[in-house]
Chains A and B, each alone.
Chain A
């Protein structure tokens, strides 16, 4: 059983960052519009490929992540290259007790089911942004101006876990001619408004060493075309030299569930100073065994992904009393 000797492919968890503006807008929404309505709210998160060898990128929430208030003219254009859109759901509770009492497993499962449904219906192939989703539970204490919150980034779990054949910098995987062509193709992909914020794609390598980037759906069009080798690519927020970041998990799930492929080559696309960096980007080859039952739409796979806080699972809390104190706001508004 040589497969058992191979290491398990391990993914670096996504990390969240919440801009202060998000809490300001949430408070204002809560006070002015939502009242005690605690139904889930669709929100947007943003991320970008890792762009520095020493820090990972994060899922960022900004004030624009929340729906704009009716009184304001909305002019939020969705993504740009530094803001790739990730759909999310916010469960903001009215009390701390409800917050702690939320059935986190069920919420995570519900969010994972959306991903699973989109994989099965083919929507996630058409619009790959649907492969990454997130979930935020929160309690906004508007008397003390403190906010309790916890993120989850649902990932469908392959059972058994995918194993890793090999992983190395993309610059070593590709020939220098291919690497040059790949860099150019990636930079072009990241410059075009239509593709700049599309985080999953196919890398097609032709026998003449020319490389092009294509949308995921081209897989189903070009399958069986012997002229090219395909590598699946994704915007990797992670900076680590030996591990891919979290978004790859649901891409592998899609490949296993829909395309039934056992050996997957993947490109962890990373940048330096805003341009493709193939020394930092990784190419890996993973062996995936398609879990039994995955062909069956009704069997939703297990999901994991509650965010770690300093390596432990736990809710976070932020106090913004000093910048949100109403008396102070009155002074600045005057």
Chain B
């Protein structure tokens, strides 16, 4: 971690400890959420999009201002079929404007995402889909290992253990090699399907939700957080998306830094209000997840929004 980032974390932690959580609503004025509003919005997300659930996480990391069984929201096993980096390349090659042309007629996402100025330097060290395909060859030889780069020699090769104990199960009812059978001839597509656990925590300092990503590779082994950055819009990778400790789970996870979330949500809410829609706080996470989709465009989490955003629904 960079020193400045560390200092900021320490500062933020202290502020969080000594300030009491927000209780007065400032949702329309500042685009932020009180703890109660986060629970209300989370409950609504779970009921409309049941792939999301509340979880309690590590007991030692539990936040006292949140109910024990509603510490954070999570949706698991979300497919990510393509790398955001390569999608953007294709998009730009086709003359598209990154992030601006978003099927939304109102274009309110454009205020946050800017067309990128340079791309050469970043592109060189970010593996594209093509690179991955090449590395696939070597990847298959050894057992995938998380963070295993510098200890490769310690990781035994799978071949060594190939069946010393007569485990050859000649069972005609076992479907062999799921992906290849299902998707021939273009089994590549399925081999490259990563999955993500996407979680949303409440950031007490910024008073907004915060998104965390845990990636799994094609064989469902943990993905290094660095590789997660391939699935982040390149305008955000390494800038607004950073790798940090998860507030409720062990380990390092990629996260979309919440420092601008309030401001962007405020803009979204203003646009809605200018169109005569009175936004309701229980819809906050749907708006928020739609905004997050500009940062992680290829991770197909659910935020179905086929109901009126503002006027009260019968939920």
Contacts and interface: CB of A to CB of B under 8 A. Distances in A.
B250 A20 contact: yes
Interface in B288-315: 300, 302, 304
A317 interface: yes
Nearest to B176: A311
Contact of A274 (B50, B173, B178, B252): B50
B167 A313 contact: yes
Interface stretch (B18-26, B31-39, B215-223): B215-223
Contact of A315 (B60, B158, B177, B197): B158
Interface string B140-176: 1001111110010011101101111111110111111
Nearest to B194: A55
Interface of A: 8-13, 15-21, 24, 48, 51-52, 54-58, 60, 63, 68, 72-73, 75, 77, 80-83, 100, 103-105, 144, 146, 157-158, 161-162, 190-191, 238, 240-241, 243, 249, 273-275, 304-306, 308-323, 332
Contacts of B59: 68, 72-73, 75
B76 A60 contact: yes
9 contacts: A17-B216, A20-B214, A58-B220, A75-B69, A82-B50, A161-B171, A273-B304, A311-B180, A319-B146
A313 B302 contact: no
B276 interface: no
A12 B175 CA distance: 5
Contacts of B69: 75, 77
Contact of A20 (B144, B195, B222, B304): B222
B95 interface: no
A104 B169 contact: no
Contact of B220 (A17, A146, A240): A17
Most central of A100, A190, A316 by chain B CB within 10 Å? A316
A77 to B, nearest CB: 7
Contact of B50 (A18, A58, A190): A190
A311 B218 CA distance: 12
A51 B147 contact: no
B145 A55 contact: no
B79 interface: yes
Contacts of B214: 19-20
A279 to B, nearest CB: 16
A48 to B, nearest CB: 8
Contacts, number: 182
Centre residue among B50, B69, B148, B167 by max chain A CB count within 10 A: B50
A104 B182 contact: no
B176 A11 contact: no
B193 interface: yes
Contact of B151 (A52, A75, A321): A321
B132 interface: no
Given A17-B220, A82-B51, A323-B147, A10 B173 contact: yes
B201 interface: no
Given A313-B167, A314-B143, A319 B154 contact: yes
Contacts of A316: 143-144, 221
A38 to B, nearest CB: 18
Contacts of A103: 165
Contact of A309 (B78, B79, B219): B219
Contacts of B221: 316, 318
B245 interface: yes
A323 B76 contact: no
B154 A63 contact: no
Nearest to B177: A311
Residue among B51, B164, B171, B220 with the highest chain A CB neighbour number at 10 A: B171
B56 interface: yes
Contact of B163 (A73, A311, A313, A317): A313
Given A54-B190, A54-B193, A161 B172 contact: yes
A306 B169 contact: yes
Given A11-B174, A19-B214, 4 more contacts: A157-B173, A161-B172, A274-B50, A315-B161
Contacts of B167: 104-105, 306, 313
A157 to B, nearest CB: 6
Contact of B250 (A11, A52, A241, A323): A323
A83 B53 contact: yes
B147 A322 contact: yes
Ranked nearest first, the 9 interchain pairs of A and B with the lowest CB-CB distance are A274-B50, A24-B250, A10-B175, A20-B251, A314-B158, A304-B169, A311-B177, A322-B147, A274-B51
Nearest to B179: A311
Contacts of A318: 145-146, 148, 221-222
A161 B251 CA distance: 44
A182 to B, nearest CB: 18
B227 interface: no
A308 B219 CA distance: 10
A13 B178 contact: yes
A17 B222 CA distance: 8
